[in-house]
């Protein structure tokens, strides 16, 4: 365990504050110090609320001195993606259109975390309206990767991935509609949980695609993600899609060994066209899982390209439907790329959309049948480490669209199926860029993938590697 408070994991620092080894003020000041160092290089924060954070930390310390703990996150400083509404706060959603939008309600996921007692550091940058997989933002500038400043963070939870990696916040909410938690986790070397569709309420979170959006955390460890999920999961009268399925003891699951678990490795698609570094790290991860007692089996999955295309189609139509009024009234306030993507969604016929929705049940049934003998599936998050900001800039690089399509190949199928997936740091490229593997679970079985992720993190230290400023 690090004795520098900002470098601790979420669960470590929460325990240290509860035991009065550090005050919330000390921890918050340590985070603010790192933010002052890193923010000019990363552009990870949309807003830093230093004075208010220190005041809240002092209040948390005063409460604890009286024996009043507000919950498992008491006094822990956190910041979240700037699309979670908090009453009285500006929530930009990474856009010009919402630049001055002040929320009148607080999102359920955020409120459930707030009820556990954390300190708000500010809000984190994101792709415009969460519609972009790289971390580019034409209005507020790109977010930079702490491990290589000229490389992307992944999106749309770009600030979340960058800020957690640089230890500016102990964790951050992201959202995953086509990979927007897992890609920043992969590119920035942190742990990211894409939850089962319906596991966490989306009430008060800016929508992108109503049938694909999921709320999930980015943090240092699988244990941290388990703690956050345990606080957020469960039904919500404000969101009819939030499931009543039982909420497991996710933290307990992270303590269990994985001996005897069966983990599937796909025979195709997820193992095709991998960069040499990613292929090497996949093999190393398989070897570690075997050493930890898991049984590795090959699985033949249905055609994932069809699932990926179906995800893109649903996302395009639903995003266009949500944005229709602004597309008519304020088209000039979108960046050209986001405007084009939204307008494309308006051109897809309703029959095609409904056919794509109807195919989801059979597609999930086929996946369940193909993976019936395994507890989880292991696959890379992306076939490559982070490309540079320049080579993924659609406005200035002719090959950028091809780069982006390649980046998102391995994440979209899981969104279409609504399944949970945990991105776990698994190694580094020869150039020093992080690479993650994803553990794809059964519906509402986050406990098993968190269990496997925690076992990997007990056996490796990739999640503890720190970026440095030159």
Catalytic residue among 9, 24, 107, 156: 156
Q: Which of 49, 139, 40, 142 is nearest to 98 (CA)?
A: 139
Three-state SS string over 116-150 comes to CCCEEEEEECCCHHHCCCCCCCCCCCCCCECCECC
Characterize the bridge pairing of strands 45-48 and 119-124. Answer: antiparallel
Catalytic residue among 160, 180, 211, 230: 180
Whole-number Å distance between alpha carbons of 386 and 402: 14
Whole-number Å distance between alpha carbons of 282 and 20: 41
SS3 content of the chain, % helix, strand, coil (to 5): 40, 15, 45
66 flagged as catalytic: no
259 flagged as catalytic: no
209-219 burial, b if ≥16 CB within 10 A, otherwise e?
Answer: bebbbbbbbbb
Q: DSSP label at 239? A: B
180 flagged as catalytic: yes
295 bridge partner residues: 262
For 148, the 3-state DSSP assignment is strand
Whole-number Å distance between alpha carbons of 407 and 387: 9
Whole-number Å distance between alpha carbons of 371 and 366: 9
Phi and psi angles of residue 444, each rounded to the nearest 5 degrees, phi first: 60, 20
User: Would you tell me the crossing angle of helices 304-329 and 350-358 to the nearest 10 degrees?
Assistant: 140
Please give the positions annotated as active site. Answer: 81, 156, 180
């Amino acid at each position: 365990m690090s004795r520098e408070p900002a470098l601790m994991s979420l669960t470590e620092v929460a325990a240290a504050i509860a035991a009065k080894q550090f005050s919330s003020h000390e921890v918050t000041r340590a985070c603010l110090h790192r933010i002052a160092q890193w923010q000019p290089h990363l552009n990870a924060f949309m807003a830093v609320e230093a004075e208010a954070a220190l005041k809240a930390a002092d209040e948390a310390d005063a409460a604890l001195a009286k024996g009043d703990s507000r919950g498992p996150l008491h006094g822990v400083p956190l910041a979240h993606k700037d699309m979670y509404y908090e009453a009285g706060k500006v929530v930009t959603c990474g856009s010009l259109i919402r630049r001055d939008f002040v929320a009148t309600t607080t999102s359920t996921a955020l409120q459930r975390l707030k009820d556990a007692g954390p300190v708000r550091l500010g809000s984190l940058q994101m792709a415009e309206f969460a519609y972009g997989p790289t971390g580019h933002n034409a209005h507020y500038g790109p977010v930079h990767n702490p491990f290589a400043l000229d490389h992307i963070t992944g999106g749309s939870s770009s600030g979340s991935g960058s800020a957690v990696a640089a230890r500016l916040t102990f964790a951050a909410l992201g959202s995953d509609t086509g990979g927007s938690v897992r890609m920043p986790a992969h590119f920035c070397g942190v742990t990211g949980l894409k939850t089962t569709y319906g596991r966490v309420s989306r009430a008060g979170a800016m929508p992108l695609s109503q049938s694909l959006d999921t709320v999930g955390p980015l943090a240092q460890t699988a244990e941290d993600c388990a703690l956050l999920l345990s606080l957020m999961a469960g039904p919500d009268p404000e969101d009819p899609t939030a499931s009543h399925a039982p909420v497991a003891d996710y933290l307990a699951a992270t303590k269990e060994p994985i001996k005897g678990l069966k983990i599937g490795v796909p025979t195709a698609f997820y193992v095709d066209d991998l960069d040499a570094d990613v292929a090497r790290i996949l093999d190393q991860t398989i070897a570690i899982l075997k050493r930890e007692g898991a049984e590795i089996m090959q699985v033949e999955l249905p055609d994932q390209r069809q699932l990926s295309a179906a995800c893109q189609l649903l996302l395009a139509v639903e995003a266009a439907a949500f944005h229709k009024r602004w597309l008519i009234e304020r088209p000039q306030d979108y960046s050209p790329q986001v405007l084009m993507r939204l307008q494309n969604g308006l051109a897809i016929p309703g029959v095609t959309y409904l056919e794509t929705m109807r195919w989801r049940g059979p597609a999930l049934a086929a996946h369940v049948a193909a993976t019936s003998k395994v507890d989880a599936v292991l696959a890379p998050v992306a076939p490559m480490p982070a490309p540079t900001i320049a080579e993924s800039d659609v406005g200035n690089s002719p090959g950028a669209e091809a780069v982006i399509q390649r980046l998102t190949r391995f994440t979209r199928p899981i969104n279409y199926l609504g399944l949970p997936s945990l991105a776990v740091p698994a190694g580094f490229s020869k150039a020093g860029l992080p690479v993650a593997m994803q553990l794809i679970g059964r519906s509402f079985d986050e406990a098993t993938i968190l269990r496997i992720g925690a076992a990997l993190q007990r056996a490796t230290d990739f999640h503890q590697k720190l970026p440095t400023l030159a």
